[in-house]
Chains A and B, each alone.
Chain A
Amino acid sequence: AQSVTQLGSHVSVSEGALVLLRCNYSSSVPPYLFWYVQYPNQGLQLLLKYTSAATLVKGINGFEAEFKKSETSFHLTKPSAHMSDAAEYFCAVNPRVGNTGKLIFGQGTTLQVKP
């Protein structure tokens, strides 16, 4: 069965510092992986997705993630944090059953950015 684990429910960084949000997955088939972000009082918004093309995926707002099969990881990074990056981030995997967009989510990581 597919699953997603996000290490760290809360991450705090200083403005301008590197952002690293960790995600490990378990999947019996080649995975399709996603990162979503939820800003306060808004819906989840797709940041980026991996669908078996390039292992380094670039997303919106300067975020990127690297798919590492050997480590079963899909960590999200951003070189320099902005105050506006404060939000909750969700890693997700598509279990690839029935050709649908059904997702299995991790527990979420809240990113705090300090001035």
Chain B
Amino acid sequence: EAGVTQFPSHSVIEKGQTVTLRCDPISGHDNLYWYRRVMGKEIKFLLHFVKESKQDESGMPNNRFLAERTGGTYSTLKVQPAELEDSGVYFCASSQRQGFNEKLFFGSGTQLSVL
């Protein structure tokens, strides 16, 4: 069974450009989460999808970030326009059942560098 897959693994862009990150969750997983780790800091929650609906987007930094999950399968996270402080590793995770002790399966992340 394939795990959570994220594309690209690395992205280097200039300030002001647009970048789109993609996450393919494990097949059948309704829950999809986005997290971000800025260098030297902790991993922080960005948002949570249940199927195609945004359940919780309280962690989204600002309106330059747009997440979608059309059809409830893969998800994209677009940053437009990118700023220097957006650099970091963006993780995606998915799970089958929702709950406090649900097991999250993480992708290997996308390393985003904004120059």
Residues on A lying within 8 angstroms of B by beta carbon are 4, 32, 36, 41-46, 49, 51, 90, 94, 96, 98-108
In whole Å, how far is B27's beta carbon from the nearest beta carbon of chain A?
A: 16
Could you say which of B40, B44, B100, B107 contacts A101, with CB atoms under 8 Å apart? B100
Residues of A within 8 A of B44 (CB): 105
Are B108 and A41 closer than 8 Å at their CB atoms?
A: yes
Residues of A within 8 A of B33 (CB): 101-102
Are B108 and A100 closer than 8 Å at their CB atoms?
A: no
Query: How distant is the Cα of A19 from the Cα of B29 in the complex, in angstroms?
Result: 34
Nearest residue in B to A90 (C-beta to C-beta)? Answer: B43
Residues of A within 8 A of B93 (CB): 43-44, 101
Query: How distant is the Cα of A98 from the Cα of B102 in the complex, in angstroms?
Result: 13
Are A103 and B104 closer than 8 Å at their CB atoms?
A: yes
Are A101 and B42 closer than 8 Å at their CB atoms?
A: no
Residues 87-115 of B, flagged 1 when their CB comes within 8 A of A and 0 if not, give: 00001010100111111111111000000
Query: How distant is the Cα of A105 from the Cα of B109 in the complex, in angstroms?
Result: 16
In whole Å, how far is B54's beta carbon from the nearest beta carbon of chain A?
A: 12
Query: How distant is the Cα of A104 from the Cα of B44 in the complex, in angstroms?
Result: 7
